[in-house]
Amino acid sequence: MEREIICTSCPMGCHVMVELDGEQIVKITGNTCARGERYARAEVTDPKRTITTTVALVDGGVLPIKSDAPLSKKNIDQYLKQIHEIVAERPVLIGDVLLADIDGNGVNIVATQNAF
């Protein structure tokens, strides 16, 4: 099987072809630099994304948050569900941890705005 990955490492947007035998990567072509290969490899094995969304503030309104490192894309729906259960209380400062270790690998959900 072959998968086409558009590399987002830089504005070039190379179309990288990854040849797969089951889960095994056989060949990577179409990239024009080493970053392209790394990106395609990660995209095929375990793509990761930073989550940004909002959580409720206890007295109304919302507070923007992010995961302080990228999380496995395949579990994003589950993480979003957990995050949406958070209700934050003022005062919150940028960087405050609202939910520690969401993935068992030490990634935290942190505030990205101050709410005094």
Partner 1 sequence: MRKIDLVVIGGGPAGMGAAVAAYDAGVKDILVLERDHRLGGILEQCIHNGFGLHRFKEELTGPEYAWRFEKELRAREIPFRLNTMVLDITSDRVITAMNSEEGVFQIQAGAIILAMGCRERPRGALNTAGTRPAGIYTAGTAQRFINIMGYMPGKKVVILGSGDIGLIMARRMTWEGAEVKMVLELMPYSGGLTRNIVQCLQDNDIPLLLSHTIVEVHGKERVTGVTIAQVDEKRQPMMETARFVECDTVLLSVGLLPENELTKKADVPLDRMTSGALVDQRRMTEVPGIFACGNVLHVHDLVDYVSEESEIAGRGAAAFLQAGGAKDDCHITVKPGKGVRYTLPQRICAEEETTVFFRVTDVHQAVKVVVKAGDQVLQAKKRPRVAPGEMETVKLTAKLLAEHKDQTLTIELEEA
Q: Which amino acid is at 88?
A: A
Site for partner 1 in 79-108 (CB under 8 A): 80, 94
Please report how close the Cβ of residue 103 comes to partner 1 at its closest, in angstroms: 17
What is the size of the binding site for partner 1 (CB under 8 A)? 24
Q: How far apart are CA 104 and CA 88, in angstroms?
A: 22
* Mask for 38-77, x = binds partner 1 (CB under 8 A): -----------xxxxxx-x---xxx-x-x------x--x-
3-state DSSP call for residue 86?
coil
Q: How far apart are CA 110 and CA 7, in angstroms?
A: 28
Q: How far apart are CA 5 and CA 11, in angstroms?
A: 14
Please report how close the Cβ of residue 107 comes to partner 1 at its closest, in angstroms: 14
Please report how close the Cβ of residue 95 comes to partner 1 at its closest, in angstroms: 9
3-state DSSP call for residue 35?
helix
DSSP-derived secondary structure for 13-45: --EEEEEEETTEEEEEES-SSHHHHHHHHHHHH
Site for partner 1 in 8-37 (CB under 8 A): 8, 11-13
Please report, as ranges, the residues that interact with partner 1 according to CB under 8 A: 6, 8, 11-13, 49-54, 56, 60-62, 64, 66, 73, 76, 80, 94, 112-114
